[in-house]
């Protein structure tokens, strides 16, 4: 959505295709479907009013377009990549693609997908040759909500194409808003660059998580150690914690699976992913025997946005429920939606009667929490702060017990 609106603002006629009729209706009415995305509301209204952006549920409505940018969800199920949405779009686009058109994949995918899946399906259905009759390119999304519009304008745009014409065309298109273009030598190199970005972060977090466990053994504060180490410019250790979201816990498997298909094993990447997945059990093991009612603060996978579907909190919730705990979840972005688990929209009501609080997402509202009031309304006294939001001395000063990753 931000990319479509950004291109429309540059003067291009943009058609957005989606399977969600409600989303399409909102966009055509000039309404921003993503309230927490900074700057998007005004931009959507502007480009829809000008007639530069329209939305539809019918892929055939885009038949007069010349460039087709694919940004569908790609996921991982049971450690195996899931790219059915890319395959589906490829089949639908086959009815629209003509000679001279260009297809660009933006979704994060296993290296080789653009040519071996997307290009192959279109070619088989149309008998057009990728890189000859129609352009084929890969240019990954490198943005983070809620600042996607800003990120589009400050990060270099990576472009990998099958042919020079496609590379030139897409580079010119994205140069209208991106500060620079990094042209890769091949499509697969561009695909690899994207999954490597997030895999690097996963490995770095795994190191931080292992360091946190080591610091607990020595009775020292991991946060203090990391801050001191990071004062050296060549050391940039990330924060320990549970890893959630659409990218970091999934992208390593795009590499792991493809490497194993080629008869090798990416040992470091695989080990790092295993460490990060094991941290859930480490957190659950911090709870005392006899506890029953747990309140989790934070359902979003990152602070101050609403994004629940791939949150680390859901995995933590499942582990707690499997061990028989009664769990209530609070998040400032909860609405009237009914979930399969217990939620409470009032922060202090969610905490009332809890044996333990687990602070799972570093929403700003939790930094202002009244610790003394928490002490009064809790049944138990344990606070597990996964995100280092609260000051241990403040929590302990109120008569509560404080635990976290990397704290003795």
pLDDT in tens, 119-134: 999 999 999 999 999 9
Angle of helix 251-261 versus helix 187-218 axis, rounded to 10: 110
Domain ranges of the chain: 1-57, 286-404
pLDDT given at position 408: 57
pLDDT given at position 245: 84
Top CATH class of 286-404 equals alpha beta
Q: Which residues of the chain have pLDDT under 50?
A: none
Residue 114: helix, strand or coil by DSSP? helix
Displacement of CA 200 from its chain's centroid (Å): 15
Interatomic CA distance for residues 4 and 87, integer angstroms? 21
Token output for 328: 């209530």
Q: Are the CB atoms for 67 and 77 separated by under 8 Å?
A: no
- H or E stretch covering 382: strand 382-385
Token output for 257: 């699976």
Give the residue ranges of DSSP H helices in 29-163: 40-49, 84-93, 113, 120-126, 148-154
pLDDT given at position 406: 80
Quick one: residue 268, left, alpha or beta (phi over 0 = left, psi -120 to 50 = alpha)? alpha
Question: pLDDT digit string (tens) for 187-235?
Answer: 999 999 999 999 999 999 999 999 999 998 998 999 999 999 999 999 9
């Amino acid at each position: 959505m931000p990319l479509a609106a950004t291109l429309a603002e540059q003067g291009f006629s943009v058609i957005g295709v989606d399977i969600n009729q409600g989303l399409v209706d909102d966009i055509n009415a000039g309404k921003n479907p993503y309230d927490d995305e900074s700057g998007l509301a005004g931009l959507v209204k502007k480009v829809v009013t000008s007639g530069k952006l329209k939305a539809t549920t019918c892929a055939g409505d885009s038949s007069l377009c010349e460039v087709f940018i694919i940004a569908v969800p790609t996921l991982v199920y049971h450690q195996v990549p899931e790219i059915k949405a890319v395959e589906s779009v490829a089949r639908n686009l086959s009815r629209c693609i003509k000679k001279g058109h260009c297809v660009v994949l933006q979704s994060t995918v296993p290296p080789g997908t653009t040519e071996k899946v997307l290009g192959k399906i279109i070619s088989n259905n149309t008998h057009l040759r990728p890189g000859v009759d129609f352009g084929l390119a890969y240019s990954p999304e490198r943005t983070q909500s809620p600042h996607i519009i800003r990120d589009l304008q400050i990060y270099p745009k990576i472009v990998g194409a099958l042919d020079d014409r496609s590379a030139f065309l897409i580079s010119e298109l994205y140069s209208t808003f991106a500060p620079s273009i990094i042209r890769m030598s091949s499509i697969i190199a561009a695909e690899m660059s994207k999954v490597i970005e997030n895999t690097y972060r996963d490995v770095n977090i795994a190191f931080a998580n292992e360091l946190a466990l080591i610091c607990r053994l020595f009775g020292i504060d991991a946060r203090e150690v990391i801050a001191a180490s990071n004062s050296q410019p060549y050391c940039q250790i990330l924060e320990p914690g549970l890893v959630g979201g659409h990218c970091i816990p999934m992208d390593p498997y795009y590499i792991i699976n493809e490497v194993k298909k080629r008869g090798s094993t990416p040992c470091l990447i695989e080990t790092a992913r295993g460490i990060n997945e094991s941290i859930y059990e480490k957190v659950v093991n911090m709870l005392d025997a006899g506890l029953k009612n747990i309140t989790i603060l934070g359902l979003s996978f990152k602070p101050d946005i609403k994004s629940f579907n791939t949150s680390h909190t859901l995995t933590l919730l499942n582990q707690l429920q499997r061990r028989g705990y009664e769990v209530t979840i609070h998040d400032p972005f909860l609405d009237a939606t009914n979930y399969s688990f217990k939620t409470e929209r009032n922060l202090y009501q969610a905490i009332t009667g809890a044996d333990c609080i687990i602070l799972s997402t570093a929403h700003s509202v939790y930094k202002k929490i009244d610790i003394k009031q928490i002490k009064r309304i809790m049944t138990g006294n344990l606070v597990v702060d996964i995100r280092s939001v609260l000051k241990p001395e403040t929590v302990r000063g109120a008569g509560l017990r404080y635990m976290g990753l990397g704290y003795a």
